[in-house]
């Protein structure tokens, strides 16, 4: 499918989804968020895709936030609906079968930081900058930032970032656990692809079930989460890949997973 504000490319089992509004530093307007929703549905249904990389177009920004020029004239109802649209679309990333890696190539502000936080793994370029500057605009974070940031970095650090609107560099983002790795900008996509290909080489059903255990379990109490993990662990023993993976280990050879 063709998108006006996104690029969707495939490289073997890896899909690369690029937010493509570089003149506006990839700011998220409602059309772009709606297209993102369609693209995520398309990818979620595509069993040939084993991992997804999400990035921004150009060398300056991942996403500089929700589109301020569109939001400026919102009334309360439109603003609430826009937040709810973002909530449902970003949640799709967490609930879709494939792992999603955010490759953060510059500013990840407001809705951009929130989108990165909805991804399973975040890696970033040396020029990346992060923040939730909504309070400098008279807004609150509205695409999940008040919820995902405290879950990722703890309530104290999240409160400081959300109350001040301060923008932090990539080293600070790494220090507080917002990103896993830092790379030079010109190797970021190569490194994202290496990681995505490594994940794609693992038993696909096991990877999908692991994602589900993490994403669903993190919001459960520990006893329910462990019960869910045991269910999932049991399920892997109905797959060919479990037989192949364990046999390959014992036979001292590489497994050939088929994703079933």
66 or 157: CB nearest ligand HXC: 66
Task: Please tell me the distance from the alpha carbon of residue 170 to that of residue 104, in angstroms, as a whole number.
Answer: 10
- At closest approach, how far in Å is the CB of 13 from ligand HXC? 32
Residues that bind ligand HXC (CB under 6 A): 24-25, 27, 64-69, 82-83, 86, 107, 109-111, 133-134, 137, 139, 141-143
Q: Is 9 a catalytic residue?
A: no
How many whole angstroms separate alpha carbon 119 and alpha carbon 194? 17
Q: Output 90 or 257, the one with its CB closest to ligand HXC.
A: 90
Catalytic residue, from 2, 59, 94, 114: name it: 114
User: Please, what is the minimum distance in Å from the beta carbon of residue 163 to ligand HXC?
Assistant: 15
Nearer to ligand HXC, 47 or 84 (CB): 84
Does 134 qualify as catalytic in the annotation?
yes
**Smallest distance from the beta carbon of 235 to ligand HXC, in angstroms?**
36
* 25 vs 153, beta carbon nearer ligand HXC: 25
Residue nearest to ligand HXC (CB): 110
**Residue closer to ligand HXC (CB basis): 97 or 133:** 133
Taking the complex as a whole, how short is the minimal distance between the CB of residue 165 and ligand HXC, in angstroms?
8
> Cβ of residue 69: shortest distance to ligand HXC, in angstroms?
5
Of residues 134, 160, 190, 231, which has the active-site annotation? 134
Q: Are strands 51-56 and 121-125 parallel, antiparallel or unpaired?
A: unpaired
Q: What order of strands is seen across the sheet that includes strand 61-63?
A: 61-63, 107-109, 129-131, 167-169
Q: CB nearer to ligand HXC: give 143 or 174.
A: 143
Shortest Cβ distance from residue 92 to ligand HXC (Å)? 16
> In this structure, what are the phi and psi dihedrals at residue 14, rounded to the nearest 5 degrees?
-110, 130
- Chain centre to alpha carbon of residue 244: 30
Contact status, residue 58 vs residue 21, Cβ threshold 8 Å = no
Annotated catalytic sites, by residue?
114, 134
């Amino acid at each position: 499918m063709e998108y006006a504000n996104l690029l969707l490319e495939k490289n073997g089992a890896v899909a690369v989804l690029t937010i493509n509004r570089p003149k506006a530093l990839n700011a998220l307007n409602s059309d772009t968020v709606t297209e993102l929703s369609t693209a995520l549905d398309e990818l979620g249904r595509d069993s040939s895709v084993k991992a997804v990389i999400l990035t921004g177009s150009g060398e300056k920004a991942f996403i500089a936030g929700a589109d301020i020029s569109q939001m400026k004239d919102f009334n309360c109802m439109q603003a609430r609906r826009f937040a709810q649209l973002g909530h449902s679309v970003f949640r799709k990333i967490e609930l879709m079968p494939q792992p999603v890696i955010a490759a953060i190539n510059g500013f990840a502000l407001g809705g951009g930081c929130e989108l990165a936080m909805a991804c399973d793994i975040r890696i970033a370029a040396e020029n990346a900058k992060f923040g939730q500057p909504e309070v400098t605009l008279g807004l609150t974070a509205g695409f999940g930032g008040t919820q995902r940031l405290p879950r990722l970095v703890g309530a104290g650090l999240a409160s400081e970032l959300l109350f001040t609107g301060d923008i932090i560099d990539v080293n600070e983002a790494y220090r507080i656990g917002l990103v896993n790795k830092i790379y030079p900008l010109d190797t970021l996509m190569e490194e994202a692809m290496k990681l995505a290909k490594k994940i794609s080489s693992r038993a696909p059903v096991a990877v999908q079930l692991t994602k589900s255990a993490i994403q669903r379990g993190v919001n459960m109490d520990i006893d329910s989460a462990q019960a869910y993990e045991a269910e999932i662990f049991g399920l892997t023993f109905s797959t060919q890949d479990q037989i192949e993976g364990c046999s390959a280990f014992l036979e001292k050879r590489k497994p050939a997973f088929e994703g079933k």
